Amino acid sequence: MALIVQKFGGTSVGTVERIEQVAEKVKKFREGGDDIVVVVSAMSGETNRLIELAKQISEQPVPRELDVMVSTGEQVTIALLAMALIKRGVQAVSYTGNQVRILTDSAHNKARILQIDDQKIRADLKAGRVVVVAGFQGVDEHGNITTLGRGGSDTTGVALAAALKADECQIYTDVDGVYTTDPRVVPQAQRLDKITFEEMLEMASLGSKVLQIRSVEFAGKYNVPLRVLHSFQEGPGTLITLDEEESMEQPIISGIAFNRDEAKLTIRGVPDIPGVAFKILGPISAANIEVDMIVQNVAHDNTTDFTFTVHRNDYQNAQRVLEQTANELGAREVIGDTKIAKVSIVGVGMRSHAGVASRMFEALAKETINIQMISTSEIKVSVVIEEKYLELAVRALHTAFELDAPNRQGE
Ligand code: ADP
Ligand code: ASP
Ligand code: MG
């Protein structure tokens, strides 16, 4: 008898009919003899709807109150699913994050799980109940409701699986696994049988939102067997594995990630003297703005142009801070661009193959796509390009690295 944590995402519980379907599925597993803990998201669109409501009161809602509000979405789905299970004769009980006691820090809207009390859940499982837990939410040491950031139910699922030492954490969603890239953008994308935690972490960090970044971090840290599956179609899904050996058959590149979440800022004509990078980025970091990619170019006149990217939500703030710095340093100007996108190729195979980056640049050159910034690590190469070329770039790279499904090439 296995202990399985099953997480169902927003579209999988998007209507009452779907919740009934999920209940059927859980019932089958339960009848197979497994102990089941289910984690559910809010019905699809509900979290967005709640955030929109809050924004009608204030453009930047008070984080604590926003958590009180957005956590309600998941409270609805746990109750509906528990009802649907009980209706089918399956013993079930639902719990909010607070009731389980998913203890988090107090960073509202992006809290981190610190500890999970597994006692209550274990007692329920022992009594033969299916336990249905609200994803995305927890409680801090002062009893305040917290949430874990968008997509956070994945992390609840994995964290519960780690705390309960579950045999597997199954993430059920609206695609049948992790693909070489978002199958909604590239129809030729292929499902991967396996991907390493390391690669999945890069994919998630670089924009593939099929799993929340923290859920992958958690799974890697606690070695939780993690699988992504379709909620309503049979299939093996994708296993996220620790073992690189198992992925040896995979090509150099496992996948292509992309995002439109960033914006670019350039400060031009700064005197090229020691400490200038710190003078530019110090105030940005003091304003709590995270910087992603950085490029610095030195001109003939001993000045430098310094470019970096930030999250689009931080763009205006960053621009304000940079204007101030430009004044202080006597820089020529500050320019910004929000119409950029970042495309990344990811794969552990890169470690043992030279020339991967140049193959990427060649593929983009063939499509006359200009590369504005580049950053590399051991298992990824990222470029910033004009946003309007994003889909073209992803498709071209998918083909160049021979990731297209064999029977769908050139579709
Ligand atoms: P859920 O609501 O179940 O949590 P999400 O919308 O968060 O579902 O994640 C599933 C979506 O992730 C898919 O519909 C797909 O469009 C997107 N996605 C992005 N990149 C990938 C990828 N590499 N493989 C599979 N899906 C991906
Ligand atoms: N409902 C939350 C969101 O939309 C959490 C989740 O779905 O994982 O972000
Ligand atoms: Mg999700």
Distance 357 CA to ligand 1 centre (A): 26
Examine the pLDDT at 372 and tell me if it is beyond 70. yes
At 248 the pLDDT is 52
What amino acid is encoded at 341 in this protein?
A
Q: Would the pLDDT of 203 be above 90?
A: yes
| Nearest CA, atom 6, ligand 2 | 151
| CB of 135 shorter than 6 A to ligand 2 | yes
Q: What is the pLDDT of residue 251?
A: 72
Average pLDDT over residues 28-50: 97
Cβ–ligand 2 contact at 42 (below 6 Å):
yes
Predicted pLDDT at 249: 57
Task: Say which residues have a Cβ less than 8 Å from residue 348's Cβ, sequence separation at least 6.
Answer: 196, 198, 199, 244, 247, 254, 379
**173: which 2 tokens?**
């969603």
Distance from the alpha carbon of residue 23 to the mean position of ligand 2, in angstroms = 20
Mean pLDDT to the nearest integer, 147-160:
98
The kind and range of the H/E element at 2 are none
Closest to 255 (Cα-Cα) out of 343, 175, 346 = 346
Q: What residue's CA is closest to ligand 2, atom 4? A: 47
pLDDT at 331 over 80: yes
Confidence band for 1, pLDDT divided at 50, 70 and 90: confident
Compute the mean pLDDT over every residue in the chain, rounded to the nearest whole number.
94
Looking at the CA of residue 154, tell me the nearest atom of ligand 2: 8
Taking the model in full, what pTM does it have? 0.93
When pLDDT is averaged across residues 115-119 and rounded to a whole number, the result is 96
Confidence band (pLDDT; 50, 70, 90) for 411? very low
230's tokens: 């379709």
- Compute the average pLDDT of residues 282-293: 95
Ligand 1 closest atom vs CA 179: 24
Q: Quick check: 398 and 181 in contact, CB under 8 A? A: yes
CA 261 to chain CA centroid, nearest Å: 12
* Beta-bridge partner residues of 227: 170, 239
* High-pLDDT (> 90) share of the chain, %: 90
Q: Which residues line ligand 1 (CB under 6 A)?
A: 9-12, 41, 151, 173-175, 178-179, 181-184, 208-210, 255
State the pLDDT confidence band at 410, using cuts at 50, 70 and 90.
very low
Confidence of residue 297 (pLDDT cuts 50, 70, 90): confident
pLDDT for the residue numbered 283: 96
Work out the pLDDT band at 247, boundaries 50, 70, 90: very low
- Give every CB contact of residue 44 below 8 A, 6+ residues apart in sequence: 9, 10, 11, 13, 14
Whole-angstrom Cα distance, residue 411 to residue 404? 10
Per-residue confidence at 326, pLDDT binned at 50, 70, 90?
Answer: very high
Q: What's the CA-to-centroid distance between 186 and ligand 1, angstroms?
A: 13
C-alpha 227/C-alpha 51 separation (Å) is 30
pLDDT-wise least confident of 96-100, 200-204, 243-247, 274-278: 243-247
pLDDT of 244:
65
Closest CA to 290 of 223, 205, 184: 205
The model's confidence at residue 407, banded by pLDDT at 50, 70 and 90, is low
Q: Is residue 7 over pLDDT 70?
A: yes
Question: How high is the pLDDT of residue 208?
Answer: 95
CB 315 within 8 A of CB 336: yes
Please state, in angstroms and rounded to a whole number, the distance separating the CA atoms of residues 406 and 384: 29
**Euclidean distance between CA atoms 154 and 151, whole angstroms:** 6
CA 97–ligand 3 middle distance (angstroms): 18
Residue 123 pLDDT class (50, 70, 90 cuts): very high
Helical spans, DSSP H, in 58-170:
63-70, 72-87, 97-100, 119-126, 153-163
Q: What ligand is nearest to the CA atom of residue 150? A: 2
Nearest to 308 by CA among 275, 272, 284: 284
pLDDT of residue 363: 97
pLDDT in tens, 82-106: 999 999 999 999 999 999 999 999 9
User: Which residue's CA is minimally distant from atom 8 of ligand 2?
Assistant: 151
Ligand 1: which of 209, 212, 256, 380 to mutate, judged by most atoms within 8 Å of the beta carbon? 209
Q: What is the mean pLDDT of residues 200-217?
A: 96
- Ligand 2 atom nearest to 153, measured from its CA: 8
Q: What is the DSSP string of 27-76?
A: HHHHHTT-EEEEEE-PPTTHHHHHHHHHHHH-SS--HHHHHHHHTHHHHH
Give the ligand at the shortest distance from the Cα of 51. Answer: 2
Any ligand 2 atom below 6 A from CB of 73: yes
Q: Distance (Å, rounded) from C-alpha 244 to C-alpha 197?
A: 9
Helical pair 46-57 and 72-87, crossing angle rounded to 10 deg: 150
Least confident residue range of 48-52, 246-250, 264-268, 361-365? 246-250
35-40 and 130-134 as β-strands: parallel, antiparallel, unpaired?
Answer: parallel
Q: Are 92 and 75 contacting, i.e. CB atoms less than 8 angstroms apart? A: no
User: Ligand 3 center to residue 211 CA distance, Å?
Assistant: 6
Cα gap 81→130, rounded to integer Å: 10
d(CA 142, CA 350) in angstroms, rounded, equals 46
- For residue 226, the CA-to-ligand 2 centroid distance in Å is 19
Q: What is the DSSP string of 340-378?
A: EEEEEEE-GGGGG-SSHHHHHHHHHHHTTPPP-EEEEET
Strand order across the 145-147 sheet: 113-116, 102-104, 137-139, 145-147
Among 116, 122, 162, 163, which Cα is nearest to 137's?
Answer: 116
Name the least confident of 189-203, 252-266, 345-359.
345-359
